[in-house]
Structure 1
Amino acid sequence: MQSKKIAIIGAGVMGKKHAQTIVKHPDTELVAICDPFSDAMAQEFNVPNYKDLDDLLNTMTLDGVVIANPNRFHVSTAIQCMQHGVTCLLEKPLALNTAEALTLIEAQQSLNVPILVGHHRRHNKIIQQAKEIIDAGTLGEINTFNALWSVYKPDSYFDIEWHRVAGAGVLAINLVHDLDLMRYLNGEIESVQAMTSNKNRKLEVEDSISILVRFKNGALGTLLASDAAVSPWGWDQNTEENKTSFAVSPDQDCYFISGFEGALSVPNLEYWNYPKDQSKSWSTSLMKNKVEPNKEEDVYIRQLTHFVDVMNGIAEPISSPQDAIHNIQLLECIELAAKEQRTVYLEQLQCFKKSA
């Protein structure tokens, strides 16, 4: 099978990460960069740079593109690529809002070109291992899902103006990943409540948020997060997925999932059940078991392997636009719940009804 010819649109941090991954993968070939502002990355990887997307799409025969340009161009870029029949790996967020996401979904359904949305954590082997434990019934019916994300962003982070304004806080920038995994592991979310605080830095943007969710299967979940709180708890610290940016604390966990038959902590994949010959009771000691978490496999290589399968037509995207739109809707509902201090039901959104 010939290597898949892939171009990258957007030569920023994520574009470079994808470029490094493509050149390492045995089944892919980086053939071009498209960036209107700089050809530095194209020179680094010894491929041509196109300043205009139409020029790229009309000149080169591509199997796929990675769309990693600024968020406001995601939808228009993906539609342009699909009109040329090119399969897309679209970095998250899918779109800036639900209405824009619906425009993309309608175009994708009409053009019938696959899109894989870059919720890369779904490809982490640890998440696949956790899902296997849950799907095997080890926990029974899930009742609670508690997630933590707590770090201290340095003061210099807020020297950048847009980092200080509403919409650039922990909810939109960081927690979309955790919300996506909560959905992936336990199903869709029905309603949300939320509170935010900016008491630490006194900026317009929130520095802490507490989210309560009710899943459609009746389970309750919490997501407590802060970028102004010192702690070892969070996906990046605990999975060692992003060692270049985060100091690691691999002995800690950030997700705690409990059901009618057992409990599971992630990412260390320790799970607890009662002995089979004893009754379930808080006075009975739990037995601890463990699956050794696979922290060695490169999550971006795994994502790219899946993208190759999508391009070959032998796999459906693990995160499609029809799935990823729920994350956009969740963010909007959480913002509304925090602002109005009330429970917000996702199905109350008119745009949700159109996409469901």
Structure 2
Amino acid sequence: MRASGCSVQVDDCDTKQAVNAGRLESMRHRLSSGIACWPAMLAVSTRRRTTVKPLRIAVLGAGLIGRRHIQTILAMPAAAELVAVADPVADPAGLDVGAAAWFGDAQELLDRVKPEAVIIATPNALHLQQGQWCCERGIHFLMEKPVTVTLDEAATLVQAVRQSGVKTLVGHHRRYLGVVQQARQWLADGRLGRLVVASVVWATRKPDAYFQAAWRTQPGGGPLLINAIHEIDMLRHLCGDIHAVSGVKSHANRGFAVEDTAAAVFEFDNGCLGTLACTDAGLSPWTIEQGSGENPAFGYTGQSAYRLIGTEGSLELPVLRAWSPRVAGEAAWDKPIVGNPLLPKVQDPYQVQLSHFQRLVRLDEPPVVSVLDGARTLAATLAVAESSQTQARCVPRAF
């Protein structure tokens, strides 16, 4: 069996003779760690060689995130073929879309090109309608986050997906980061003991030009739904489901109708507490993009934005430094602790995500982030806003 970031081949004539136990264990480790294709849930055929065909894929929306997806597709021809792009505003001049057709209307693209799959990277308010279009046409889709703007819309989309049977992902791409997979394994192995507290900071100053797109100054276009939702999804991914939220938000720095700063406390089902501070109006070295280098638009700082604290140790992300007692079993404030840097697995999460999307469609691989899972992250995120308005603890809507 061979796996590379953009295609998977299975080649076994006689598993017992061709692959010994050590090689199988090595292969499983590489696949589960995300160095190859993650998660790997492939049925190994002992009779035939299977090559996973590239997806005929279109991108709706050619803004910042849409362009990132376009670049990823063009860099991975074995995973996907870019057949069309739709954007009513963006000028295709200077944007490399390969041989893809360009449309000003997304619905026209879907009807004329009939792609197998679509990446929806349009403004948040369009997500429900365009997701429904895909469901009606039997087109698989990867929806950028947030899955929708409101929870009622999310419920409508979840139902449409169930009825249509299309395969979906939500673009919480940080779940594919190697350091995140490593942290999940540390937690699963119990190396931190019982998880007590998780904290995250996402703080950067966006340039004025960023807000020339008017939707980014209106409700639904602020850092809570654009940026903090990623951090909340990461907290859910690492710590488990959230059953209560207390939040505050402010627009005092930019004066827009939408917030520029938010903070929250999360109560997890397992008893862990989490904190979040998020702003797009303050300069700092503390974002996961700066700490990991996963987004070249952010300057690299090598600083950790996440801290996971357990009864037996702690872990920083994305730098991946583990703190533990100098002497095993001596976990107390009057005993020395040491910080040990771990070797992070470096990979482009967008490439890993696209490869997973290919296998989701072709091989029926379970989704890393389904529309239902995306709706649950949205519910926890909107609970921050609701708590801020009511000045009371909020229970996220169940999905």
Q: How far is the alpha carbon of 1:277 from its aligned partner?
A: 4.5
SS of residue paired to 2:138: coil
Query: Matched residues in 2 for 1:168 and 1:77: separation?
Result: 18
Query: Matched residues in 2 for 1:155 and 1:43: separation?
Result: 26
Query: Matched residues in 2 for 1:182 and 1:274: separation?
Result: 25
Q: How far is the alpha carbon of 1:242 from its aligned partner?
A: 1.5
Q: State the partner residue of 1:304.
A: 354
How many residue pairs align between the two structures? 346
Deviations 1:55-80 (A, max 9, x none): 44444453311112232221222222
SS of residue paired to 1:344: coil
Q: Between 99-108 and 329-338, report the one with greater CA deviation.
A: 329-338
Q: State the partner residue of 1:176.
A: 229
Question: Residue 307 of structure 2 is aligned with which of 256, 259, 265?
Answer: 256
Q: How far is the alpha carbon of 1:197 from its aligned partner?
A: 3.2
SS of residue paired to 1:138: coil
Question: Residues 1-356 of structure 1: matches in 2 within 5 Å?
Answer: 1=51, 2-25=53-76, 26-36=78-88, 40=92, 44-60=97-113, 62-158=115-211, 161-244=214-297, 246-250=298-302, 252-275=303-326, 277-295=328-346, 297-346=347-396, 349=397, 352=398, 355=399
Query: Matched residues in 1 for 2:103 and 2:206: separation?
Result: 36
Q: How far is the alpha carbon of 1:213 from its aligned partner?
A: 0.8
Give the superposed CA RMSD.
Answer: 2.3
Deviations 1:91-131 (A, max 9, x none): 11111111001111111111111111111111112211211
Q: Residues 254 and 62 (structure 1 numbering): CA distance in 2 closer, same or farther, change over 3 Å?
A: same
Normalised TM-score (structure 1):
0.89
Query: Matched residues in 2 for 1:53 and 1:154: separation?
Result: 29
Q: Residues 129 and 204 (structure 1 numbering): CA distance in 2 closer, same or farther, change over 3 Å?
A: same
User: Which amino acid in 2 is paired with 1:229?
Assistant: G
User: Which amino acid in 1 is paired with 2:60?
Assistant: I
Q: Residues 206 and 15 (structure 1 numbering): CA distance in 2 closer, same or farther, change over 3 Å?
A: closer
Query: Matched residues in 1 for 2:112 and 2:220: separation?
Result: 38
Q: Residues 239 and 107 (structure 1 numbering): CA distance in 2 closer, same or farther, change over 3 Å?
A: same
SS of residue paired to 1:5: strand
Deviations 1:31-86 (A, max 9, x none): 22234456727874222234454544444453311112232221222222222222
Query: Matched residues in 2 for 1:127 and 1:220: separation?
Result: 19
Decide whether the 8 Å contact of 1:4 with 1:27 is kept in 2.
yes
Query: Matched residues in 2 for 1:160 and 1:10: separation?
Result: 13
Query: Matched residues in 2 for 1:99 and 1:181: separation?
Result: 23
Q: Between 54-63 and 266-275, report the one with greater CA deviation.
A: 54-63
Normalised TM-score (structure 2):
0.80
SS of residue paired to 2:365: coil
Query: Matched residues in 2 for 1:221 and 1:205: separation?
Result: 24
Q: Residues 38 and 283 (structure 1 numbering): CA distance in 2 closer, same or farther, change over 3 Å?
A: closer
Query: Matched residues in 2 for 1:84 and 1:161: separation?
Result: 31
Query: Matched residues in 2 for 1:241 and 1:132: separation?
Result: 20
Q: Between 56-65 and 314-323, report the one with greater CA deviation.
A: 56-65
Identical-residue share of aligned pairs (%):
33
Q: Between 219-228 and 278-287, report the one with greater CA deviation.
A: 278-287
Q: Residues 201 and 270 (structure 1 numbering): CA distance in 2 closer, same or farther, change over 3 Å?
A: same
Q: Between 200-209 and 308-317, report the one with greater CA deviation.
A: 200-209
